[in-house]
Structure 1
């Protein structure tokens, strides 16, 4: 009887360990980064994650006004090996893993532009609405070790409103391989004159309508910043995510009358249900 009981215990433990190992393998993300949505559980085919997020953020770039905004979260994804195609909100794109150390991404998105009514205090009156347009975003991350503990990141945004570049370093916390945990990135952001003036410049016509001085911003350093991402898998289907972003503007940007604050910040939290 004792031998039978011992055998039964061993079989149960073996089954539990097998299920745990299977679950960990099934939930392994393409890269274990909390900022990268991966709802595929390591399997080829379709995957869907949908949810909501709430953000407390500045009303527009350079604003000293803050407000809450609720946005949809998640994405529809299709995976084949180390490639994922995705549709998320107003963006459609692709990301792929190469040699286990390069995470490459390309997407086409929509820039809604700034609206004159974004300022409740009327600070944008007379400036008109910013131009809307499509943007192409190219990004690459290069892991500096085998488990993506540290990496370098570069991003280029180009579109009808100019060009922007981002360069930085990242650090991941936690031992999970399923995309949960947290990470932090330190970045420097650069823009060309077209992108800079689209956000912070004031033309002669805008100056006459708004009473603000005509302003021209040169290309160069836009800001330095830090962003923190967090993701928690509650169970197989439910996830909680969060993000904190802080961006400190360069002296050139701070000289613009539009920049009523020296920085931009954003705090967001939300949930996603993975089908």
Structure 2
């Protein structure tokens, strides 16, 4: 009887250690969120993922014209513990995990301007080009549990053309800890008058050139929205991702002649190869 009891205890202990090791193997990303690229496989040092994505999206903010666009995907990353530095497209940034429930991020990126020929129907004729420039993005997510099932998110975008803030809640679906699965965020977006008028305002000079009414947008609520992020690991090297966004503009934004639609939306799919 004593031998049987010892054998059972040994089997239980072995099973517990196996499950613990399995869980540790599965958690190969800093946080298990499909929206967060992490190609490091849980190891310090350099990591690289490259791929392509195709998006079907509005031609410009407020447009009722849609089109396809092919963009590069992936990033070059360097990890040290719970910190990842990365270069992705036109952005360079840092992401760090603190106390297992705080994900902090800072990046410097390039903000694309708007051109008159972005509208095939000539809706932007006479408005000229909006300014391009650099933007600083600061973001924080706070999870309610260490498995990142639910969280709060906040983001601040500071640029030469004004400032924008985002606040929302998110949820992760699935039990995977490797960054695959589905993620959903509900957000409210606010902008100051400079940011609002860079996208939707019409000056007196632009009004004369375009024939559109002069428009001045006040600071405040810009939109409410929902976004989905999906990631699937085909094997150790290949990943498929998908994303979809719907943003419903506030009445103040919809009053602008530039906003020919009440919403902005996009959907995209792509693949990444992790080296």
Global fold match (TM > 0.5): yes
Distance 1:30 1:126 in 2: 48
Map 1:32-47 to 2 at 5 A.
32-47=32-47
**Counterpart check, 1:159 vs 2:159:** yes
User: Is residue 2:156 matched to residue 1:125?
Assistant: no
Provide TM-score, normalisation by structure 2.
0.92
> Is 1:67 paired with 2:84?
no
Task: Give the structure 1 partner of residue 8 of structure 2.
Answer: none
Q: Does the residue aligned with 2:94 lie in a helix, a strand or coil?
A: strand
Structure 1 gap segments, 5+ residues each: 1-13
Between 22-31 and 57-66, the greater mean CA deviation after superposition: 22-31
Q: Does 1:86 align with 2:86?
A: yes
Change beyond 3 A, Cα 1:24–1:238? farther
| Preserved contact between residue 39 and residue 77 of structure 1 (Cα < 8 Å) | yes
Contact 2:26-2:177 within 8 A present in 1 as well = no
Aligned residue for 1:9? none
1:25 is displaced (CA, Å) by 1.3
- Map 1:1-275; keep pairs closer than 5 Å: 25=25, 28-275=28-275
Structure-1 separation of matches of 2:27 and 2:174 = 15
Distance in 2 of aligned mates of 1:108 and 1:93: 6
Cα-to-partner distance string for 1:12-45 (whole Å, 9 max, x where unaligned)? xx9xx97x95696165210000000000000000
Separation in 2, partners of 1:175, 1:30: 15
**8 Å contact kept, 1:62–1:258:** yes
Is contact 1:24–1:178 with CA below 8 Å preserved after alignment? no
Q: 1:146: how far off?
A: 2.0
Once residues 27 and 72 of structure 1 are traced to their aligned partners in structure 2, the CA distance between those partners, rounded to angstroms, is 26
CA distance in 1, matches of 2:22, 2:187: 37
- 1:219-264: CA deviations, max 9, x gaps? 0000000000000000000000000100000000000000000000
SS at match of 1:194: helix
Aligned equivalents of 1:249, 1:232: Cα separation in 2: 31
Look up the SS of the partner of 2:190 in the other structure. strand
Assess if the C-alpha contact under 8 Å between 1:64 and 1:261 holds in 2.
Answer: yes
Contact 2:191 2:221 (8 Å CA) reproduced: yes
Contact 1:242 1:270 in 2 (8 A): yes
Instruction: Please list every run of 5 or more consecutive structure 2 residues that lacks an aligned counterpart in the other structure.
Output: 1-13
For residues 26 and 267 of structure 2, the distance between their equivalents in structure 1, rounded to whole angstroms, comes to 31
Specify the SS of the correspondent of 2:199: helix
Give the TM-score taking structure 1 as reference length. 0.92
Separation of aligned partners in 2, 1:203 and 1:258: 12
